[in-house]
Amino acid sequence: MDRALVFGLAIFAVLLVAPPVLHLMGAGYLTGLLIKAMLLAIAAISLDLLIGHGGMVSLGHAAFVAVGAYAAAIALESGIENILVLLAITLAVTALVAVITGALALRTTGVYFLMITLAFGQMIFFTLSSLAAYGGDDGLTLWSLATLFGSDIVQNSGGLYFVVLATMFAAWWGVYRMSQSRFGRVLRAARDNPQRTAIMGYNVKRYQLVAYVIAALIASVSGLLTMQHAEFVSPALATWQRSGDLIVVVVLGGLASRNGAILGAFFIVIAEEVLSQIIHEWRLIYGPLLVLLVLYAKGGLSDLLTRSSAKA
């Protein structure tokens, strides 16, 4: 059996039993940290579809997380509480934004694509900041949360952890299956040699736009769940720094690797938590640590673990 598949399933198995174990150990607060890491992993998995498989480096991808969070939060403030309805609204709004921005952004390539996605991300950031009715720059605190047909199972006091875990598994499995399909093969061919792919009769821009929209939709679900977990939304979710963090997660974990986005997300969240407990100026250690990992684990954490297990 594929080692990456076994390792990935092992990660999910550990996460599945983690909450009761942590509760027995008296470290229940770590459940919230795991939720944070999983939410980051969902967004990173979506970005890896763009960068790792499609070769489209976006510096505005976090904007879709913010669009998802705000679409759900505004609908919730309007009296819509069923999370399934909120999900439908989130996906519809995000799809519209992604189709418009993607169609324009994909008229460019390379560094120009990066710059135009940065511009769109900043446009969304300033748009959200201008929503005075929903907190503006200060963000919006939610006084009620989404329910599932009146049940609190999708709230922090219920089973939100397992909802986030199931969503991460769906994103992980779905993106992998997509990458192994004809769609994924054409997408990678377009990444490596777009001219030859076009000559073979494939509409390269159409495939890239579909990938762009799918990645945006996955990111928006991360935004919806982030809203539900944090009970707060802010324009800060859309900043280019957040998009940069997602790129760091994807590259650190390993581009186009099966478990890279998950490994990168958990490493970043856990490293930040541990280092911040040790020293106030934790970024002085965090920065050089990332540099060392990039230098000595050029295939990312996923490749490093694979080589280590092979040696063992």
Tens-place pLDDT, residues 78-89: 999 999 999 999
Token pair for 128: 């959200």
pLDDT of the residue at 214: 97
Strand-pair partners of 147: 82
Q: For helices 240-253 and 300-311, give the axis angle rounded to 10 degrees.
A: 20
Distance CA 95, CA 273 (A): 34
Query: Residue 294: its pLDDT value, please?
Result: 75
How far is it, in rounded angstroms, from Cα 162 to Cα 28?
15
Q: What is the pLDDT of residues 169-207, one digit of tens each?
A: 999 999 999 999 999 999 999 999 999 999 999 999 999
| Token digits of residue 269 | 């969240």
Q: 177 is written with which tokens?
A: 């299956």
> What is the rounded CA–CA span in Å between residue 238 and residue 200?
38
Cα–chain center distance at 204: 24
Strand partners, 140: 233
**Which domains, and CATH codes, for the chain?**
3-311 (1.10.3470)
Query: Looking at residue 47, what is its pLDDT?
Result: 96
Give strand pairing partners of 233. 140
- Pull the structure tokens for residue 21: 């174990």
* Overall pTM > 0.85: yes
d(CA 117, CA 99): 13
Chain-centre distance for alpha carbon 118: 17
Other CB atoms within 10 Å distance of the CB of residue 247? 19
Which residues of the chain are under the pLDDT cut of 50? Answer: none
Q: Considering just the CA atoms, what is the radius of gyration of the chain in Å?
A: 19
Do 70 and 128 contact (CB within 8 A), yes or no? Answer: yes
Confidence at residue 308, expressed as pLDDT on a 0 to 100 scale: 67
Which residues, in sequence order, are CB contacts of 47 under 8 Å at separation 6+?
Answer: 58, 61, 215, 219, 246, 247, 249, 250, 261
Which 3-state string (H, E, C) describes the chain? Answer: CCHHHHHHHHHHHHHHHHHHHHHHCCCCHHHHHHHHHHHHHHHHHHHHHHHHHCCCCCCCCHHHHHHHHHHHHHHHHCCCCEHHHHHHHHHHHHHHHHHHHHHHHCCCCHHHHHHHHHHHHHHHHHHHHCCHHHCHHHCEECCCCCEECCECCCCCCCCHHHHHHHHHHHHHHHHHHHHHCHHHHHHHHHHHCHHHHHHCCCCHHHHHHHHHHHHHHHHHHHHHHHHHHHCEECHHHHCHHHHHHHHHHHHHHCCCCCCHHHHHHHHHHHHHHHHHHHCCCCHHHHHHHHHHHHHHCCCHHHHHHHHHHHHC
